[in-house]
Structure 1
């Protein structure tokens, strides 16, 4: 199985998930709950596709792409990568809890956890694209 295209696919999925997260935020601010719900379910679904693609890539390749940058950009890269990786470990669990609380219309609990989940999830989506660009396009 040729998985060489998957890093690009993964970055694209991360970027698209980020767009839907922002749209979901926009619609909830306008109190358009149904549109918010559709955007967040879409963001979650795209994030699940990302996770499947990411795991497929890493279980089917022994290739390790090393960052080639030197100096200050290397510090920037690893700072972003480490923060991205740590938060990415929590986001799936938080996203599931947040999604289910929203679907159950447990609004108070949904809002409480969404205040943490949304910025973390958006950060992970955006920095996923940044890490890809720094690793494969620099």
Structure 2
């Protein structure tokens, strides 16, 4: 039975590898492209809410599966994946149409002077650590989410549970720190 379940997964392996490599490369490449348009809405608070919503959905899905509410769990996880896709599109759109915001840039000139550095002090390092771990884990979680999802749709639930124990905290961390990063950077927009 185990071999049959694994063979069902194998047909998706190429897609998992391709998407896990292509998504970060495309996102990084799109940051270099600047489109001179002004969006009708300011996206960061919207995608921060989506990150918060994703975190909430992940927790609800965890509770649902613990209560053996499988269909609810499946629906919540599918919703979490779509929220992450929508977030990613908005995030890239924002960065293609806007300059990056510098944490601590009180006068909004795009650089930190000595006064601004002294005002933010150690908080800049805290912000950068949270931001860096958020970015690195947002890339790392892609294959975990895809593998976990594939194991679920191929009904390989034992292997699904094993990787979900890793995927859940990684994905939850990425979603929660996305909100934290936004709350920390919002004064400097």
TM-score between the two structures when normalised by the length of structure 1: 0.92
Quick check: 1:109 aligned with 2:159? yes
Partner of 2:113: none
Q: Aligned Cα RMSD in Å?
A: 1.5
Local SS of the residue matching 1:85? helix
Structure 1's unaligned 5+ residue stretches are none
Question: For 1:26 and 1:119, how far apart are their aligned partners in 2?
Answer: 14
Partner of 2:127: 77
Aligned ranges 1:63-74 → 2 under 5 Å: 63-68=99-104, 70-74=120-124
2:176 aligned residue (103, 110, 126):
126
Aligned ranges 1:83-94 → 2 under 5 Å: 83-94=133-144
Aligned positions, number: 137
Aligned ranges 1:5-16 → 2 under 5 Å: 5-16=42-53
Structure 1 position 72, deviation (Å): 2.1
Structure 1 position 60, deviation (Å): 2.4
Structure 1 position 9, deviation (Å): 1.2
Local SS of the residue matching 1:105? coil
Question: For 1:135 and 1:72, how far apart are their aligned partners in 2?
Answer: 14
Local SS of the residue matching 2:103? coil
Question: For 1:75 and 1:102, how far apart are their aligned partners in 2?
Answer: 39
Structure 2's unaligned 5+ residue stretches are 1-36, 105-118
Quick check: 1:33 aligned with 2:83? no
Structure 1 position 103, deviation (Å): 1.7
Partner of 1:45: 82
TM-score between the two structures when normalised by the length of structure 2: 0.68
Runs of 4+ aligned residues of structure 1 deviating over 2 Å after TM superposition are 1-4
